[in-house]
Amino acid sequence: MASRQRGEVTAMTNNPEIGRMIATGATETNYHDLGNGAPVLLLHGSGPGVSAWANWRLPLQALSTQFRCLAPDLAGFGYTTTPDDFVFTRQAWLDQIIAFLDAAGVEKAHVIGNSFGGSMALALAIARPERVHRLVLMGSVGVPFELTAGLDAVWGYTPSFENMQSIMRIFAYNQALVGDDLVHMRYEASMRPGVQEAYARMFPAPRQRWVDAMSHSEPDIRGIKHKTLLVHGRDDKVIPPSTSMTMLNWIENSQLHIFGRCGHWTQIEHAAEFGRLVGNFLVAE
């Protein structure tokens, strides 16, 4: 894979979450750029301590054998540099994504969005349909639903090892995946200077309003003409599978795959199957 890797880890660090930096308006975006072929933009979720690498490290290995995979840290997450007065809104994140595509020289890409990133993938497809080829929405936010206890806990996270362990257990159906090393890594990431301060500003209580703010109107979603793959874990405690059923009904050219024995971590709990499913969808006639 090294011969196909564009976004190599910065030489001064052994931290795999740090890739390259690129100017994107008010932010300087940390991103990973691996593989050759048709570009694929991967947009991560909004869990505490998340980064593009933490979210997409397994799919990047699979998909970069066929595609050029670009995985940015959105503002407020990972190692992207964000001004202290940055206002976290769907429009601000969308502006960053468009600026990132422009700076990376990508006119049009397949877009894969996970959870919160799914709402941003939808936002791009609605606002700039010419920039999107095919859509993959995984456990996606983007349509109205009642705030789950799981999502309330995720967005309401306050730093401690125990709290991070509890959040990771909400994400995973397979509890064996929630080892101390993973919990410690995500906890330490959430404790980096400025990270929790930014996270606390994104989704303060009452949090139903942020579900609503990240939702798109039914006419806008029905207007999406892109070929779309919806993926969801049957046992997801964060984003209910009913959201994907709603999008299946609203997006005309769509299909849905539901994984049993799977929580919110489809790309981790069923990594090999997820990679094959997405890869086949992106190249199918």
Q: Are 111 and 125 in contact (CB under 8 A)?
A: yes
Out of 115, 119, 215, 254, pick the active-site residue. 115
Pick the catalytic residue from 44, 110, 232, 264: 264
SS3 44: coil
End-to-end CA distance of the chain: 26
Please tell me which residue in 119, 236, 244, 254 is annotated as part of the active site: 236
Count CA atoms within 13 Å of residue 44 on its CB side. 29
Residues 94, 41: Cα–Cα separation, whole Å: 13
Q: Give CA–CA dist 118/128, Å, rounded.
A: 15
On the 0-12 / 13-18 / 19+ scale of CB atoms within 10 A, 171 is: buried
What's the helix, strand, coil split of the chain in %, to 5?
A: 40, 20, 40
Q: Is 264 a catalytic residue?
A: yes
Helix and strand totals (H; E) in the chain = 12, 8
Amino acid identity at 94:
L
- H/E stretch holding 79 reads none
Instruction: Provide the annotated active-site residues.
Output: 115, 236, 264
